């Protein structure tokens, strides 16, 4: 079959799937006869840094450690690749520690799924920067939470700011050398009490530093055990991290319902499926695709109960982790559509649509 015919067939599959997802999402349906628009698939929950608010950095052993195998990734892509639009290759670890990451990226591109990863960028060398550029990665989100080593290492404990910036320059060098425009490099700056004085500076300098986009992010207090806490508890527990400037709101306005349950899903390195990328702990999985299809988990008893509980406020049970968001009214506001707009639009234009805080 000719490549153009294959492209058209996959394009129409993805388009029809997106239309179906829009329908199921708009009407809060329990059973979703379509695949998620975007998937988080963790290459591994192992990291070389010790970020203090991250369960991995904290040494939380609620989840076993390891790396995603190519055989499992290939099987998952074989099922969902013709339907999903975006693949987020990151979650609880440093993606580039998985030696198969470039193979994951290449296969996702072959399936016409847009690959995105997020990295502290401290483990790469010249050769891996070259491989990255030639892999077909679409977006690279780089954690850069400070403009000096002092402010940067407050959160990125064990990181080297100079090495991060050096690798950004190397990636741009190889993009120019090979005439490749991707990946677009996104500077993610988590605004906290120790770096908030640098926000105006990073807004002015991110392009000069080699980034294509700036993504200002809030301090995440809802990771790991934080998902079980209400906002009052979080404010007390993490007050040493929250910025003092009220311009940077501590919490986004909570939507009425979850933005994940019928649009996206998160898959751990071992095949464990989670309702969203914020949930940490092997005891909170909705199923495991190492021994069954993704679709059977996606519309299995746990997902159906969670959707009924969140969307209809029926059959509420504390057995599912989603009950905590319902109880504490802390639904996550992540919106895939807005994330996509943020990636493709200039910062000034996107800010007119939606403020980052």
Query: Running DSSP on this structure, what letter comes out for residue 45?
Result: S
Does residue 339 have a pLDDT over 80?
A: no
Q: Is pLDDT larger for residue 305 or for residue 343?
A: 305
Decide: 222 and 276 in contact? Cβ < 8 Å.
no
Cα–Cα distance between 259 and 334 in angstroms, integer? Answer: 7
200-252 pLDDT, tens digit each: 999 999 999 999 999 888 887 777 776 776 667 777 777 888 888 877 765 55
Greatest mean pLDDT among 22-31, 135-144, 273-282: 135-144
Domain assignment present for residue 81? The answer is: yes
Domain assignment present for residue 26? The answer is: yes
Does residue 19 have a pLDDT over 50?
A: yes
Extended beta strands in the chain, E state: 38-41, 86-88, 114-119, 139-143, 184-190, 213-217, 264-267, 272-274, 287-288
Query: Running DSSP on this structure, what letter comes out for residue 67?
Result: B
Decide: 305 and 317 in contact? Cβ < 8 Å.
yes
307-319 pLDDT, tens digit each: 998 888 877 777 7
Domain that holds residue 48: 5-119+220-353
247: exposed, middle or buried (Cβ count in 10 Å: 0-12, 13-18, 19+): exposed
Does residue 94 have a pLDDT over 70?
A: yes
Q: Residue 299: give its domain's CATH number.
A: 3.20.20.70
Closest CA to 155 of 193, 186, 121: 193
HSE-CB at 127 with a 13 A cutoff on CA atoms is 1
Position 26 scores a pLDDT of 87
Q: Average of pLDDT values for 96-125? A: 96
Cα–Cα distance between 329 and 142 in angstroms, integer? Answer: 30
Position 357 scores a pLDDT of 41
Domain assignment present for residue 270? The answer is: yes
Does residue 336 have a pLDDT over 70?
A: no
Contacts 24+ apart (CB under 8 A), 239-243: 240/193, 241/52, 241/53, 241/192, 241/193, 242/192, 242/193, 243/191, 243/192, 243/193, 243/196, 243/219
Position 233 scores a pLDDT of 74
- Domain count of the fold of the chain: 1
- Buried/exposed 104-118: b ≥16 CB within 10 Å, e otherwise: bbebbbebbbbbbbb
Percent of the chain surpassing pLDDT 90: 62
Position 99 scores a pLDDT of 96
Decide: 133 and 181 in contact? Cβ < 8 Å.
no
50-80 pLDDT, tens digit each: 999 898 988 888 889 999 999 999 999 999 9
Q: Is pLDDT larger for residue 107 or for residue 322?
A: 107
Position 349 scores a pLDDT of 63
Q: Is pLDDT larger for residue 234 or for residue 331?
A: 234
Domain assignment present for residue 207? The answer is: no
Domain assignment present for residue 214? The answer is: no
Domain assignment present for residue 132? The answer is: no
Query: Running DSSP on this structure, what letter comes out for residue 120?
Result: -
Decide: 331 and 278 in contact? Cβ < 8 Å.
no
* Sign for the pseudo-dihedral over CA of 145, 260, 279, 111: negative
* Sign for the pseudo-dihedral over CA of 302, 308, 311, 317: negative
Among 147-151, 291-295, 353-357, the range scoring the smallest mean pLDDT is: 353-357
Position 356 scores a pLDDT of 46
Domain assignment present for residue 202? The answer is: no
243-300 pLDDT, tens digit each: 888 777 655 555 567 778 899 999 999 999 999 888 888 889 999 999 899 999 999 9
Domain assignment present for residue 147? The answer is: no
Q: Where are the alpha helices (DSSP H) in 27-100?
A: 55-58, 70-80
Does residue 131 have a pLDDT over 90?
A: yes
Q: Average of pLDDT values for 28-44? A: 94
């Amino acid at each position: 079959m000719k490549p153009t015919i294959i492209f058209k067939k996959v394009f129409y599959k993805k388009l029809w799937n997106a239309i179906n997802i829009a329908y199921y999402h708009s009407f809060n349906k329990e059973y979703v006869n379509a695949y998620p628009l975007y998937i988080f698939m963790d290459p591994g929950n192992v990291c070389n840094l010790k970020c203090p608010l991250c369960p991995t950095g904290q040494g939380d052993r609620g989840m076993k450690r390891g790396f995603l195998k190519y055989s499992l990734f290939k099987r998952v892509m074989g099922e969902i690749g013709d339907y999903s639009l975006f693949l987020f290759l990151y979650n609880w670890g440093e993606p580039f520690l998985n030696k198969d990451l470039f193979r994951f990226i290449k296969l996702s591109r072959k399936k016409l799924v847009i690959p995105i990863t997020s990295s502290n960028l401290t483990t790469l060398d010249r050769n891996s920067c070259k491989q990255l550029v030639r892999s077909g990665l679409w977006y690279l989100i780089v954690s850069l939470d400070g403009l000096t080593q002092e402010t940067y290492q407050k959160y990125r404990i064990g990181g080297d700011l100079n090495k991060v910036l050096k690798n950004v320059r190397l990636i741009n060098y190889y993009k120019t050398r090979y005439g490749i425009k991707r990946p677009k490099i996104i500077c993610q700056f988590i605004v906290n009490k120790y770096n908030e004085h640098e926000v105006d500076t990073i807004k002015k300098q991110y392009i000069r530093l080699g980034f294509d986009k700036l993504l200002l992010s809030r301090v995440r207090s809802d990771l790991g055990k934080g998902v079980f806490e209400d906002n009052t508890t979080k404010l007390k527990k993490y007050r040493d991290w929250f910025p003092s400037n009220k311009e940077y709101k501590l919490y986004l306005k909570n939507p009425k319902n979850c933005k994940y349950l019928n649009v996206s899903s998160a898959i751990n390195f071992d095949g464990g499926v989670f309702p969203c990328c914020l949930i940490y702990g092997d005891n909170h999985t909705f199923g495991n695709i190492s021994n069954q299809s993704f679709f059977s988990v996606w519309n299995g008893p746990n997902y159906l109960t969670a959707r009924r509980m969140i969307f209809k406020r029926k059959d509420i049970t504390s057995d599912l982790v989603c009950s905590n968001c319902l109880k504490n009214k802390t639904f996550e506001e992540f919106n895939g559509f807005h994330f996509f707009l943020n990636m493709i639009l200039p910062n000034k234009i996107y800010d007119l649509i939606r403020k980052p805080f």
